[in-house]
Structure 1
Amino acid sequence: MTFHIEIVPLLSLVAGIAILIVPKLLNYIVAIYLIALGVLGLLGHGF
């Protein structure tokens, strides 16, 4: 049995939980999320 985990939904879930726990992290989490999406897009890993 093989599990295939998508990176974007996993990042979204982790970011959402972190924002709920520590709302002051919102700016950092959004910035890191956007940078991660950009890097993955440039490397050709489609979503």
Structure 2
Amino acid sequence: MTITIAKLQPILAIAAGVLILLRPQLLHYIVAAYLILVGLIGLGVFRALS
């Protein structure tokens, strides 16, 4: 199975949600990392690498 950009964002969202449920004190870091990754995906940074 190939993970495409369209499938990557929901996977990241689920992982972030689970981490926030398990460790609520990490909320700021998880949200910041998620927003940075979504921004990089939106700019096409990962497409340029492959």
TM range (shorter): 0.7 to 0.9
1:30 aligned to 2:31?
yes
Gap regions ≥5 residues in structure 1: none
Letter in 2 for 1:25: L
Long gaps (5+) in structure 2:
none
Instruction: Name the structure with the higher helix share.
Output: 2
Structure scoring higher RCO (CA < 8 A, sep ≥ 6) equals 1
Give the CA RMSD over aligned residues.
1.5
Instruction: Give 2:11's aligned amino acid.
Output: L
Over 4 Å off, 4+ runs: none
| TM-score (norm: length of structure 1) | 0.80
Q: Percent identity?
A: 47
What TM-score, normalized by structure 2, do the two folds share? Answer: 0.75
Q: Which amino acid letter does the alignment assign opposite residue 34 of structure 2?
A: Y
**1:43 aligned residue:** 44
Equivalent pairs, count: 43
